[in-house]
Structure 1
Amino acid sequence: MLHEDRLFPAEQKMRAIARRLYDGIKDLPIVSPHGHTQAGWFARNEPFPDPVTLLVQPDHYIFRMLYSQGISLEELEIGKTPVAEPRKVWHLFASNYYLFRGTPSRLWLDYVFENLFGLTERLSAKTADRYYDTIEAKLREKQFLPRALFERFKIEVLATTDSPLDSLSDHKAIRESGWKGRIVPTFRPDPVVDPAFSGFSENVSALGELTGEDTASWRGYLRALASRRQYFKSMGATATDHGHPTAKTADLSKSKAEWLFGKILEGEADEEHQELFRAQMLTEMAWMSLEDGLVMQIHPGSVRNHNAQLYTRYGRDMGADIPGPTDYVRALKPLLDRFGNESKLTIILFTLDETTFSRELAPLAGHYPCLRLGPPWWFFDSPEGMRRFRLLVTETAGFYNTVGFNDDTRAFLSIPARHDVARRSDAGFLARMVAEHLLDEDEAAELAQDLTLGLVKKAYRL
Structure 2
Amino acid sequence: MTHLHPDRLFPASEPAQTIARQLYSEVSDLPLISPHGHTDPAWFANNQRFSDPASLFLTPDHYVLRMLRSRGLSYDDLGVPRKDGKSVAAGRDAWRLFAANYYLFAGTPSKTWIDHSLKASFGIEEELSGETADAIYDRIDAALATPDLLPRAVLDNANVEVIATTEFALDTLPHHQKMKADGYIGRVRTTYRPDDVTDPSRPAIAANLQKFGELTGEDITRWDGLINAHRIRREFFRQHGAVATDHGVPTANTADLPLVDKQALLDRVLAGTHTANDAELFRAQMLTEMALLAVEDGMVMQIHAGSRRNTDPLLFTERGPDLGADIPGTTDYVNGLRALLSRCGNEPNLRLIMFVLDETTYARELAPMAGYWPSLLVGPPWWFHDSPQGIRRYLDQVVESAGFYNLAGFNDDTRALLSIPARHDVWRREVCGFLGRWVGENRISRSTARDVAKHLSYQAAKDAYRIK
Bin the TM-score by the shorter chain: over 0.9
SS at match of 2:263: helix
Separation in 2 of the partners of 1:344 and 1:285? Answer: 13
1:215 aligns with 2:223: no
Q: Answer whether contact 1:147 1:181 (CA < 8 A) is retained.
A: no
1:363 counterpart residue number: 368
- What residue number does 1:431 align with? 436
Out of 221, 231, 242, which is 2:247 matched to? 242
* 1:111 counterpart = 2:116: yes
Q: Secondary structure at the match of 2:154?
A: helix
Does the CA contact (< 8 Å) of 2:77 and 2:88 recur in 1? Answer: no
- Matching of residues 42-441 of structure 1 within 5 Å: 42-79=44-81, 85-179=90-184, 182-441=187-446
In the superposition, the TM-score normalised over structure 1's length comes to: 0.96
- Per the alignment, residue 7 of structure 1 pairs with none
Letter in 1 for 2:80: I
Q: CA deviation at 1:227?
A: 0.4
Instruction: Spell out, residue by residue over 1:97-120, the C-alpha distance to the aligned partner (whole angstroms, 9 max, x if none).
Output: 000000000000000111111111
Q: Distance in 2 between matches of 1:118 and 1:131?
A: 10
SS class of match (2:193):
coil
Counterpart-to-counterpart distance in 2, 1:405 and 1:48: 27
Note the C-alpha offset of 1:341: 1.3
Report the Cα offset of residue 309 of structure 1: 1.0
Compute the displacement of 1:198 (Å). 3.2
1-side partners of 2:401 and 2:363: how far apart? 8
AA matched with 2:50: F
**2:16 maps to amino acid:** M
From 15, 18, 21, give the equivalent of 2:17. Answer: 15
Q: Do 1:352 and 1:378's aligned partners in 2 also have CA atoms closer than 8 Å? A: yes
Instruction: Give distance in 2, aligned partners of 1:125 and 1:165.
Output: 43
- Give, in whole Å, the separation in 2 of the partners of 1:406 and 1:154: 14
> What's the CA shift for 1:367?
0.5
Change (3 A) 1:97 1:393: same
Provide closer, same or farther for how the CA distance between residues 34 and 55 of structure 1 changes in structure 2, counting only shifts above 3 A.
same
Mean alpha-carbon deviation: is it higher for 84-93 or for 365-374? Answer: 84-93
> C-alpha displacement at 1:178, in angstroms?
2.6
Matched letter for residue 430 of structure 2: S
Distance 1:263 1:106, change over 3 A: same
Q: Distance in 2 between matches of 1:323 and 1:64?
A: 14
Distance across 2 between alignment mates of 1:335 and 1:146: 39
Counterpart for residue 27 of structure 2 = 25
Structure 1: stretches of 5+ with no match in the other structure:
1-9
Cα distance in structure 1, aligned partners of 2:115 and 2:417: 15
Aligned residue for 1:76, secondary structure, equals: coil
Structure-2 separation of matches of 1:421 and 1:105: 12
Q: CA deviation at 1:88?
A: 1.1
Deviation at 1:29, TM superposition (A): 0.4
Which residue type is aligned with residue 215 of structure 2? L
Structure 1 letter corresponding to 2:201: A
Residues of 1 paired with 2:325 and 2:88: CA distance? Answer: 22
1:450 aligns with 2:455: yes
CA–CA separation in structure 2 for the residues paired with 1:459 and 1:446: 17
Alpha-carbon distance in 2 for matches of 1:178, 1:186: 19
Q: Is the 8 A contact 1:194 1:278 kept in 2?
A: yes
Flag the 1:180–1:276 CA change in 2: closer, same or farther, 3 A: closer
The 1-side partners of 2:456 and 2:194 are apart by 29
After superposition, what is the alpha-carbon deviation per residue over 1:189-247, rounded to whole angstroms, capped at 9, x for unaligned?
00000001231111111111111111122121111111000111111100000001100
* Aligned equivalents of 1:99, 1:282: Cα separation in 2: 39
Q: Which sections of structure 2, spanning at least 5 residues, go unmatched? A: 1-11
Deviation of 1:77 after TM superposition, in Å, equals 1.6
Q: TM-score, normalised by structure 2?
A: 0.95
Q: Is the 8 A contact 1:150 1:181 kept in 2?
A: no
Is the contact between residue 151 and residue 181 of structure 1 (CA under 8 Å) also seen in structure 2? Answer: no
Residue 314 of structure 1 and its aligned partner are, at CA, apart by 1.1
Aligned twin of 1:3: none
Question: How many matched pairs?
Answer: 453
Task: For 2:72, give the aligned amino acid.
Answer: G
Q: Give the deviation of 1:372 after TM superposition.
A: 0.4
Deviation at residue 181 of structure 1 after TM alignment: 6.0
Could you tell me which amino acid in structure 1 is paired with residue 59 of structure 2? Answer: Q
Contact conserved, 2:294 with 2:349, CA < 8 A, in 1? no
Distance (Å, rounded) in 1 between the aligned partners of 2:177 and 2:258: 39
Residue identity opposite 2:27 in structure 1: I
Identical pairs, percent:
51
> What is the identity, as a one-letter code, of the residue corresponding to 1:33?
P
C-alpha separation between the residues in 1 aligned to 2:131 and 2:113? 21
Take 1:178 and 1:328, find their aligned partners in 2: how far apart are those partners? Answer: 42
Query: Could you tell me how far 1:11 is from its partner in structure 2?
Result: 10
Give the conservation status (yes or no) of the 8 Å contact 1:286–1:339: yes
Measured in 2, the distance between the counterparts of 1:121 and 1:411 equals 21
Q: Structure 1 187/181 Cα, relative in aligned 2: closer, same or farther at 3 Å?
A: closer
Per-residue CA shift, 1:24-63, capped at 9, x if unaligned? 0000000000000011101101110100111101000111
C-alpha root-mean-square deviation of aligned residues, in Å? 1.4
